[in-house]
């Protein structure tokens, strides 16, 4: 169990189980990997145009390296959270903002239930 202090309150704690923490990590890694891959896709797709997308040569190399390393980390944490690569449905998966909003609503609900149980 991971304990996080809630924002603005010193004595209130939020318990976060390891499964939820792993899912947050997987979501963050998947989102960042997809962002890096999108930059590379845009870079390579526009190289033969008049106005190519510019990336520093070191960024191109680093993006390739980071993608490989993120894929290794994702395997450690149990794979992609939504399986975008296998299903090719990354555009229909929730964005980081949507997932964060869902997580916040979940934590608020859990906090409310804990308060009601304590009374």
Q: Answer whether residue 105 is part of any domain.
A: no
Residue 82: CB partners within 8 Å, gap ≥ 6?
A: 30, 89, 90, 93
- Check residue 45 and give its pLDDT: 94
Q: How far does Cα 86 stand from its chain's mean position?
A: 17
Rounded Cα–Cα distance for residues 19 and 90 (Å)? 22
Decide if 39 contacts 67 (C-beta within 8 A): no
Domain that holds residue 81: 23-99
**60-74, 82-96, 103-117 — most confident range:** 60-74
Structural domain includes residue 16: no
- Count of domains observed in the chain: 1
Q: How many CB atoms lie within 10 A of CB 56?
A: 8
Reported as a pLDDT band with limits 50, 70 and 90, residue 96 is: low
Comparing CA positions, the residue from 38, 63, 33 lying closest to residue 53 is 38
Using only C-alpha atoms, the chain has a radius of gyration, in whole angstroms, of 19
Residues of the chain above pLDDT 70, percent: 67
Task: Flag whether 61 is in a domain.
Answer: yes
Alpha helices in 17-82 (DSSP H): 18-45, 57-76
Confidence class for position 56, pLDDT limits 50, 70, 90: very high
Residue 53 CB neighbours (<10 A): 14
**75 located within any domain:** yes
pLDDT at 94 over 70: no
Residue 48 pLDDT exceeds 70: yes
Structure tokens that stand for 102 in this block: 């869902």
In-domain check, residue 117: no
Q: Is 15 within a domain?
A: no
Instruction: Examine residue 81 and state whether it is found in any structural domain, yes or no.
Output: yes
Confidence band of 93 (pLDDT split at 50, 70, 90) = low
Assigned domain for 108 exists: no
């Amino acid at each position: 169990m991971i304990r996080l202090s809630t924002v603005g309150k010193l004595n209130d704690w939020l318990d976060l189980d390891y499964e939820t923490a792993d899912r947050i990590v997987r979501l963050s890694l998947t989102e960042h990997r997809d962002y890096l891959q999108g930059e590379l896709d845009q870079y390579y797709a526009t190289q033969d145009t008049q106005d190519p997308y510019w990336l520093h040569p070191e960024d191109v190399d680093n993006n390739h390296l980071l993608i490989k390393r993120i894929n290794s980390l994702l395997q450690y944490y149990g794979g992609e959270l939504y399986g975008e690569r296998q299903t090719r449905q990354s555009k229909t998966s929730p964005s980081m903002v949507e997932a964060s909003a869902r997580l916040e609503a979940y934590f608020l609900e859990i906090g409310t239930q804990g308060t009601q149980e304590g009374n």
